[in-house]
Chain A
Amino acid sequence: MLRDIPGLVWILSIFMVGVISLFLYSRTGPDPLASAESVWDQSRVIADLIKRRSLQLNPGEKRTLHDISSFQILVERLTDVEIPNPAARYTLEFTPKRDVPDYGFMKRSFRLGVLDFAPNAVVGNLQIVAIRKIDEVRE
């Protein structure tokens, strides 16, 4: 009975099987990782945006930056203070995105307290004044 199937059908069938195998092969392998980045380098990028006034927030305003890093970054400007020095207060929170592996430096998130000692100047004067690693296991 198989002898009655024409050669072209055989060839096309084998070709189809080959194409499907190639397709399946192309889908195998580990999931791609997010490109490796230092959370400190990213914090400098954000601090520079604030310093150059490319990222401007009003006191009490929050903004989440999704697309510029392997981390999800939450920038919050708190109310300004006068004591001990006049300064604008910012907190930067870095949370690893889903495709970031557990690289051990932080598990859940990483927060920085940043002061801008020249909040009204064209170019700010930013200093990191507090650091907090939140090492609870990611859910």
Chain B
Amino acid sequence: MVEVADSLPWPGRKPIDRQRGFTILEIFLGVFFLILLASSFSILSKKKKSEMERSACEERKWRWYRVLDQIEFEYQKWASLGPVCLTSGLQPVVELGPNRWGILKLDSSRPIFLDMRFPTIAQVSPNHYFSSGQNAVLCDANQFAWLKIQRTEILDKERPASILFSEKEAFDPRLESSEKTGNEDEAVEAYEAPLFMKNAYLVSALPHYYELSPDDQANTMILYEREGEKNRRRIMWDFDSFVLKESKNESTGQVEVFSSVRKGDCSLTKSFSLNPSLENQSHTGQWLLSEQQLFFQEWVGLPKPEEEI
């Protein structure tokens, strides 16, 4: 009895003869657990795969937002610092070809204090940030003109500063037409007429270019940004298509921008409209945002009424 009891794995169980193989219950449970584990793994694997794809898509979207948010940033700068340029018909983003865009990044802006008598000189607040060699645009509600800043002159910190434009590169449609006819008197008359009235805005802008190129190694596309003649740098990659369009709603005056990026099933569309209101375009100063405050800073050197005559 003692020998039989010792040979049992635990009390009450019969001795097992391994030569007989598995019982039906063991085979059933083995198969059942195997199916259970396999199906769980299959479900989990699919879920993980879809999560990975979703996560990769979200990561791509964050990267794409970097570019699309930056584009909107440039538009919003125009809307807050030079809305009159947007109402004049100036387009900050221009499609230059099927895969090329020109983007004007606003640098600084100031209203001109006096009516322009010559197309090569404008007077602004002496606390401006314009410098020689910059591209600039002059805008009023109806027109805009491209200029190249030749030099700046500040005589007195309390009086308007002069901004001089390069005569050769200053764009003036009236001078251009009189040059064609060769009528010097007409040219002089046109030269003396004020080109832009006071309170038109002078805006310095940096032209940038976005260029789309195929990435042959990954069979996708790359978006490059180039500043002027400088080397281009990669700003967006890992996508199949990129769309950027600007239009103006003539009835409301709103500037509408549509952009979209896609890679396979992962796509991002962003559209926004700007209502360039002239209400916040003050001719006496500018709103500034510091770490803590939002305050209005008046222009220095505003001419007195008798000086304007």
**In residues 273-309 of chain B, which contact A (Cβ within 8 Å)?**
277, 279-280, 282, 284-285, 287-289, 293-294, 296
CA distance A30 to B56 in the complex (A): 10
Find A6's partner among B16, B282, B293 (CB 8 Å cutoff): B16
Given contacts A8-B26, A36-B61, contact A129 B9 (CB under 8 A): no
Given contacts A36-B62, A84-B282, A101-B62, contact A130 B289 (CB under 8 A): yes
Residue pair B44, A105 in contact (C-beta under 8 Å)? no
**In residues 39-84 of chain A, which contact B (Cβ within 8 Å)?**
39-41, 44, 78, 81, 83-84
Number of interface residues, chain B, beta carbon within 8 A: 52
Number of interface residues, chain A, beta carbon within 8 A: 54
Q: Which residues of B have CB within 8 Å of A131?
A: 73, 76-77, 80, 289
CA distance A98 to B309 in the complex (A): 59
Q: Determine if B79 is an interface residue (Cβ-Cβ < 8 Å).
A: yes
Residue pair B55, A105 in contact (C-beta under 8 Å)? no
**In residues 147-192 of chain B, which contact A (Cβ within 8 Å)?**
none
Find B41's partner among A22, A39, A105, A127 (CB 8 Å cutoff): A22
Given contacts A11-B33, A30-B55, A78-B293, contact A130 B288 (CB under 8 A): yes
CA distance A111 to B284 in the complex (A): 24
User: What 5 A-B pairs are tightest by C-beta distance, nearest first?
Assistant: A36-B61, A130-B289, A129-B287, A113-B294, A104-B66
A interface with B by C-beta (< 8 Å)? 3-8, 11-12, 14-15, 18-19, 22, 25-26, 29-30, 32-41, 44, 78, 81, 83-85, 89-91, 100-101, 103-105, 111-113, 115, 117, 125, 127-133
